[in-house]
Amino acid sequence: MTTLNTNHHNANRDHLFFNKKLGISYTENITTLSLWAPSAENVIWRIYDKGTAGRLIIETKLLKDQDGFWEASINKDLHDLFYTIQVKYQGQWLHEIPDLYATTTGVNGQRGMIYNPKETAPAQWDKDQYVSLKSYTDAVIYEMHVRDFTKHPESGVKDKGLFLGLTEESTHNSYGKTTALGHLEELGITHIHLLPVSDYCNLDERTPNEGYNWGYDPLNFNSLEGSYATNPYDGSQRVSEFKQMVYSLHKKGIGVVLDVVYNHTGIIEGNYFDQTEPGYFFRYHEDGVLSNASGCGNEFATEKLMARKYIIDSLKYWCTEYHIDGFRFDLMGIYDIETMNIIASELRKINPSILLYGEGWTADTSSLDESQRAVKNNTPQLENIACFSDNFRDIVKGPQFSDDSLGFISGLKGQEEDLKKAIIGGVSHPQVDPEYLINKGYAWAEKPTQVINYFSCHDDYTIYDKLKMVLPFEKEGLLIKRVQLAMAINMLSQGIPFFHSGVELLRTKKGIRNSYNAPDFINQVTWSSKKGSIAQLSKYIKHLIQLRKAVGAFRLQTQEDIAHNLIFMEEYHQGIVGFILRHKDKHSVFGHKLLVVFNNNSEAITVDIPKANWVEFDLQEYKTVGEPSSKTSITLEPISTSIYLML
Ligand code: CA
């Protein structure tokens, strides 16, 4: 492995540049390029007519000031032209690259592109609004990959697999069932979370259908991925199509969260940061070897001022230019806590509702001490930033790293206390006894707004594949009941619910776990499934979301409120967890208390409940069943969620 000189005597004046604007500034009369590269000995700026090859039109040198800041201007209208920079470092010319701040690029991200941002805005874009949230717990997040979501032949979408595919209305499969954008609207989710849409390197944008990638191999962090555009050569096209997509979603009241991967680069040797200011942007061990907490070869040094500035500038750019509603930080455990808190406060100035969350872990060890990093156990030190709950995931479906592990939904018994811990959203509760927990790590959050509840996501098996693996002979009807149970726990728990696109369509990746580069037929959402019992599953999940939105008590914001208003049923039964939720909306059609009971047993079981006037609520039909009557016990159906209202 190559080691780099990390002794940056020139870089320790980096504080001088923290508020400088870097990258291209375009007007019709003049374009300026500003670059921070204090160790560079020379920098050439080249303008081309194409994104690759083509003709060199202008070549000029950037001028350096005494602090290592480089700049040059060209007095021409450069729109629709492409550019590179090339740095001379320690007597050697490094590679020609787009500058780090390039806001769009030619095909495959080899050159930056200069364009007029005003020409990329859809009509009414200036009236477009962020999706506002009173509380993080009001969000219902749906995780998807742009291409997976509309690629299937039965998506009914014209621009399959592209940003524009998410702008198309009134699309159907051959059974007449709503697909794509209309399906999202029907479900009632509040936010989509897109797997990385910034430019990544391991897919040839000229022939995207010959490959596939999730996108966790970032190349140009401020540019969009070209393979999702109708024309990957004209960099302004992807900008305008992505804006149309955001606008279409916003018109439906759906927010857009981007999965961002500033923790590492897709290319290790020769990455664009090291071609600009070699060795500055990454963490190293004392012997000069790259630290590798990403498990991909390097790890971004978020605590260094110009690295921190880079991330903050980039996020602010996405937020203002594209009206983005939130960010999900891949391997957030690599980021230092101070940077995360600055990100939250800076973005909140632009969009007060911005939704921020991340993975509170790393893929490998880091050279920066854990006490300084945004790992799950440090969640209380993060302001308005939530962490994924692996505890929730593991109790619901079974621990992630074991194929044959059982979770509550597959029939696990004896870990009911762990499910109670999941239901209260990672905070403390007087009725959850840490002594009885199998999975330690009690109360890692102070507030439910810090907790993302999920049981499956793009990583790992789909929930259907996981169930199929542990219960290979079970009939599909019963598997559907188990998926319903998983989604009911997800939607009726405290915290922020998050689910993987296609859970509601019994999505399968054909048993492939890490499908990051698997073909479309593995990864795509299969729209032809939406019929019969699977359409019913989709409807059930829509009703769960509707109930969560209707009853504020499922979306509490403090530990105290949860401890006060959520009372677990005391009597112990194997495979059963129930609670009564007191709610404040006095005149609600949902009475003044709700009883929710999860049963993972394969038989019907009768349990005692507090004597009161109860009426059952049918989630499949979203209505009460029969008349309210005084009851002291109820019968739980096999593998089910029962809901009763106290009137
Ligand atoms: Ca790309």
| 201 Cα–ligand 1 center, Å | 5
Question: 581 and 566 in contact (C-beta within 8 Å)?
Answer: yes
What is the mean pLDDT of the segment spanning 574-591? Answer: 86
Specify the amino acid at residue 490.
N
Q: What would the two tokens of residue 556 be?
A: 């509490």
359 a catalytic residue: yes
189: exposed, middle or buried (Cβ count in 10 Å: 0-12, 13-18, 19+): buried
Q: Where are the beta strands (DSSP E) in 299-382?
A: 326-329, 355-358
Distance in angstroms between the alpha carbons of the first and the last residue of the chain: 69
Distance from C-alpha of 516 to C-alpha of 534, rounded to nearest angstrom: 26
| 362 Cα–ligand 1 center, Å | 25
Distance from C-alpha of 500 to C-alpha of 456, rounded to nearest angstrom: 6
Residues 242-291 have pLDDT tens digits of: 999 999 999 999 999 999 999 999 999 999 999 999 999 999 999 999 99
Q: Name the catalytic one among 148, 217, 359, 504.
A: 359
Residues 134-192 have pLDDT tens digits of: 999 999 999 999 999 999 999 999 999 999 999 999 999 999 999 999 999 999 999 99
Q: Which of 112, 124, 99, 116 is nearest to 40 (CA)?
A: 99
Residues 199-245 have pLDDT tens digits of: 999 999 999 999 999 999 999 999 999 999 999 999 999 999 999 99
Question: 467 and 503 in contact (C-beta within 8 Å)?
Answer: no
| 211 Cα–ligand 1 center, Å | 12
Q: Can you list the pairs that 445-448 forms with residues at least 24 positions away whose Cβ atoms lie under 8 Å?
A: 445/379, 445/380, 445/387, 446/379, 446/380, 446/559, 447/557, 447/558, 447/559, 448/137, 448/424, 448/494, 448/495, 448/496, 448/556, 448/557, 448/558, 448/559, 448/562
Position 108 confidence tier, pLDDT thresholds 50, 70, 90: very high
| 227 Cα–ligand 1 center, Å | 7
Q: Name the catalytic one among 330, 390, 460, 561.
A: 330
Whole-structure pTM value: 0.97
The stretches of 218-279 forming alpha helices (DSSP H) are 235-251
Position 11 confidence tier, pLDDT thresholds 50, 70, 90: low
Provide the 8-state DSSP code for 336.
B
Specify the amino acid at residue 49.
D
- Maximum CA pair distance of the chain? 87
Residues 6+ apart with CB under 8 A from 230: 159, 162, 164, 237, 241
| 323 Cα–ligand 1 center, Å | 22
Q: Where are the beta strands (DSSP E) in 62-139?
A: 63-64, 69-74, 81-89, 92-97, 112-114
| 424 Cα–ligand 1 center, Å | 41
| 446 Cα–ligand 1 center, Å | 40
| 240 Cα–ligand 1 center, Å | 17
Helix, strand or coil, per DSSP, at residue 267: coil
| 98 Cα–ligand 1 center, Å | 13
| 507 Cα–ligand 1 center, Å | 27
Helix, strand or coil, per DSSP, at residue 342: helix
Instruction: Calculate ∠ Cα 215-219-221, nearest 5°.
Output: 90
Question: 472 and 422 in contact (C-beta within 8 Å)?
Answer: no
Q: What would the two tokens of residue 262 be?
A: 């500033």
User: How far, in whole angstroms, is CA 115 from its chain's centroid?
Assistant: 29
Distance from C-alpha of 192 to C-alpha of 250, rounded to nearest angstrom: 11
Distance from C-alpha of 609 to C-alpha of 595, rounded to nearest angstrom: 9
Average of per-residue pLDDT values in the chain = 95
